[in-house]
Every structure is written in structure tokens, then in C-alpha cells.
Amino acid sequence: MASDLYSRFATSFAAHADKVFIEDEGRHWTYREIETVAGRLASRLAALGLAPGERLLVQTDKSVETLILYFACVRAGAIYLPLNTDYTEAELAYFVADAEPVLAVCREASTAVFARIGGDGLAVRTLAQLFADLPEAQAPPVPREADDIAAILYTSGTTGKPKGAMLSNRNLASNGEVLIDYWRFSSDDRLIHALPIFHVHGLFVAVHCALFSGATMIFLAKFDPATVIGHMAHASVLMGVPTFYTRLLADPAFTRAVAGPMRLFVAGSAPLSADTFRAFEERTGHRVLERYGMTETGMLTSNPYDGERRAGSVGLPLPGVELRIAEFESGRELAQGEVGIVEVRGANIFRGYWRNPEKTASEFRPDGYFITGDMGLIEPDGYVQLVGREKDLIITGGLNVYPAEVEAVLDDRADIAEAAVIGVPHADFGEAVVAVVRPAGDAFDKDAVRAALRAQLAAFKVPKDILTVDALPRNTMGKIQKKLLRERYAGLFGG
């Protein structure tokens, strides 16, 4: 097994050179064509000063060119740093200051923003500029060690300050190899790719499964039920967040006959409700395969390909993943069936948080197990069930929102005395972000507050509703009881 990620890419590029790797609206790209352009682009990156180990920040719309940029970055031995396109200037300024990239690739409308926040030390280019008149010469792949960092993905923290999870060559290569075997990927597969490519699910899980197995990707700019339904007659796999499946079920055109040619539907990034699982099986005859992973770990567990795919369960630990349930405070391993913190160890576990050794140390046990922060239990037959989160993470539409980050912005406002941000059930997004606030005066306009938040936070972090109360519930220690708030407003969106 190659622990150098680009060596693993190169194996597939060579083995499937003349096969179509990517189909998008404009053209079909073979494995050879993708590798050739990635090699030429790697030459351009080197000319712009991107050396091995340096950071390449990418905030672009989904496209084949963005994906080629990822391959070129890995080929150059640099560190790929993808960002959600919804981030505001204030958020981007933090990422640039923390990661210190030498090159930012962005949309045309964002060039002035990056020039402003990056100063003289940051080269800024659009994809069009990067790909214009590429040199003919291909830069040779830069050899990397297994523990060298290949990517940094930022994940918010309970303090509201995002942390850069460092993912190594070994982390990404090993997880991809496990998944193509576990999910039975082959060169005959045709994957409908409708996910974003700025996070683990769309970039590493989906792309690596296709690339490592020699499959073809039907590369869509975004998820649209009608478009996805139209591709199913000539596809075999769909990976999606639960929102994909609720929206497919809401479309009368999505029938058992339409889903018939497909062999596998995979769900992740947020919990899939048992109701959606059962409704999907009743409609199509397919049982959605739910799995569990994190930015810091890649995929950890999966319902089996052959065997019971259990509603409400994230399945069994993947090969090579050691998983246990522990008492949070002491780290004492708990007995089967007891609820505690999910802790994991394996080749897929990240190398730590970028320039944050204290946080890294606090997230690992002395024996190397990573403390996920998710609460769960192991059933008698080994299936893992998640029951909640020790931290207050909200997952909306497959994207992570930490309440502390939103609360910090709300607390800075003169018209809000105090605020608590919670996640409540939502049929479409899984969870919706909701703020419960105690206004500072009589005049309070929640629509004006939401409008102001849109200028400070990515759209997916902005509360879908802001509720006002005379007082927030607190325990005897004065801590806001968010559990009570979640229970009180659980039916806000019909959940």
C-alpha cells in the first residue's frame, strides 16, 4: 500500500490511462488527461513559489479545474487547504493569518479581498489565470514521507476559533484503500458526484474512492434532484448527505425503477434519520449505507456492504480502526452497551492541529486514542450507535457549526443581552441553527439581526430563526441548559 499519496494517484493514472475519469457538462476527461494537466499545473505552482510543505489556499467554485489543482498540489508536495465559498472576509483573514499560505486561488470577485488580507506575502490568482498558457513541461512528483502533511482542513472549535486539522499522506491513502475494498468499488463503477469538494466527504471520500478504483465520476456542480435522477440510468453509486435523500424522496419522479440501476447509496456527514432510511427502502428497495467519520479522522465506521444495514446505526469499525467507548473525564474504557465518548486509533487519524500543540495534546489519550467528542455505545454484535455529542456541534446540511462561534457574534451586539445557539431537528437539513436570545431592550428586530449576521458569518452558520425569551434556563452553577432549550424547541420546524 502506497503511503505517499501522489504515488497512489499515479498508480491509478497509469492503470486506467485511457479510461474516462471525469464527465462534466463540458467534456470528458481521461485519467491520462487529468494527470498530464496536473503535471503541467504543478510546474506553474512551482514557478509561483509553492514549495514542498508550503500551503495552497483554495476558495473556488466546484469545477474539474479545482479538482486538478488538488492533484497538482499533492504532486508538488505542498499542503492543500480548501475553504468553503461562503466564508466572509473576517473568517478568511483568520485562515490566512493562521495558515500563512504562499498562494491563494479564488474567484474573480474575491481577489481584492485576498490581496487586502494577505499583503505582499500572498500571491493571489484565479483559476483562469492559473490555467492560462500552462507550460508544456510537467513537474515531476515530489517524493513525500507517510507522515508529511498533504492537506489542512479547518474545523471550528467550541471556543469559536477554527483549528486546522493536519491530514497526512498516510491518513488519506490508507482510508481510501480501506473504503474501496469495504464498499466494493471497481473500475466498472460510475459515481454521481454532487457534493462540494472543500471538505472530507466530497474531496477525499468520494474522489479517492473513484480514483483509487479506476471508476468514472459524473461531476455535478451541485446537487439538484432532477439532474441526479436523470443520471441514475447510467450510474451505480451516489454519495450524499441526508439532505440529498430527503429531497430525492420529495420528488415524485424518484421511483423504484429510476433507482434500479444503482448498486449503492451512501449517506454521511450528518445523522440519517430512521424515518428517512425506512422511507427510502420502501420507495426504492435500497437500504442506504450509513457511515461515520470526522474531518480529523476520515471514515471510522460503516454499515456493511454485505450484511445488515441498520437504521440508526453507523455500523462497524472499519478495518484498521480501533474504536472504544470511554468515560470522558477519566478515559476508563466502558463495557459494551454503556454510553460514553467514542475514541479511535488507526492509520487514518490526523497528525494534530496546525500550530496548536496544546489543543492536539488535549484531544488524545496517552495511548494514542483520539477523543472524538461524540457520545455513543457499542451494541452486542459490534455495531456502533451514536447518541449525541459531548460538545455542542450542530451539523446542518452536512456542514459543521459550533454554537460558540455564532454566540460570540451575537453577544457583541448592543441589542442582545445574552444568547444561546442550538441545533433543532429539520426535515431537510438534519439540524437547523437556532438562536435563543434575551434582548437588551424593548426594540428587537430579529430580521435585522439575521441580515447583519450574513455579513459576518458564512450563510450556513446564520440562525434560521431567532427566538426571544425573558430569561435563559440555567442550572445551579449558572450554566445555560441547552438540553432544555433543544427539547423545548424540538418541534420548531416540524421535527
| Per-residue model confidence as pLDDT tens digits over 424-452 | 999 899 999 999 999 998 889 999 999 99
Q: List the one residue out of 494, 495, 488 whose CA is nearest residue 471.
A: 488
Identity of the amino acid at 268: G
Mean pLDDT, residues 133-142 taken together? 97
Q: Pick the residue with more confidence: 443 or 305?
A: 305
Residue 402 has a pLDDT of 79
Q: In the predicted model, is pLDDT for residue 2 greater than 80?
A: no
Domains and CATH numbers, the chain: 5-182 (3.40.50.12780), 223-389 (3.40.50.12780), 394-488 (3.30.300.30)
Residue 403 has a pLDDT of 84
Q: If pLDDT is split at 50, 70 and 90, which confidence band does 1 have?
A: low
When the pLDDT of each residue in the chain is averaged and rounded to a whole number, the result is: 94
Q: Pick the residue with more confidence: 198 or 161?
A: 198
- 252-286 burial, b if ≥16 CB within 10 A, otherwise e? eebeeebbeebebbbbbbbbbbeebbeebeebbeb
Residue 478 has a pLDDT of 63
- In the chain, pLDDT over 90 holds for what percent of residues? 85
Segment among 158-167, 235-244, 479-488 with least mean pLDDT: 158-167
Indicate the DSSP class of residue 271.
Answer: P
pLDDT digits (tens, 9 = 90+) for 14-53: 999 999 999 998 799 999 999 999 999 999 999 999 999 9
Residue 400 main-chain phi, psi, to 5 deg:
-90, 135
What is the crossing angle of helices 64-75 and 31-47, to 10°?
60
> 10 in helix, strand or coil?
helix
Q: In the predicted model, is pLDDT for residue 304 greater than 90?
A: yes
Q: List the one residue out of 261, 259, 267 whose CA is nearest residue 309.
A: 267
| CA angle (96 as vertex; 139, 396 as ends), nearest 5 | 100
- In the chain, pLDDT over 70 holds for what percent of residues? 98
Residue 145 has a pLDDT of 97
Residue 442 has a pLDDT of 83
Residue 13 main-chain phi, psi, to 5 deg:
-60, -40
CA dist 220 and 244 (Å) reads 13
Residue 401 has a pLDDT of 86
Q: In the predicted model, is pLDDT for residue 160 greater than 80?
A: no
Indicate the DSSP class of residue 335.
Answer: P
Q: In the predicted model, is pLDDT for residue 300 greater than 60?
A: yes
CA dist 422 and 402 (Å) reads 9
pLDDT digits (tens, 9 = 90+) for 369-392: 999 999 899 999 999 999 877 767
And the C-alpha cell for 357? 500543540
pTM assigned to the model: 0.88
Identity of the amino acid at 379: E
Stated as kind and residue range, the H or E segment containing 166 is strand 163-168
CA dist 345 and 362 (Å) reads 15
And the C-alpha cell for 384? 456502533
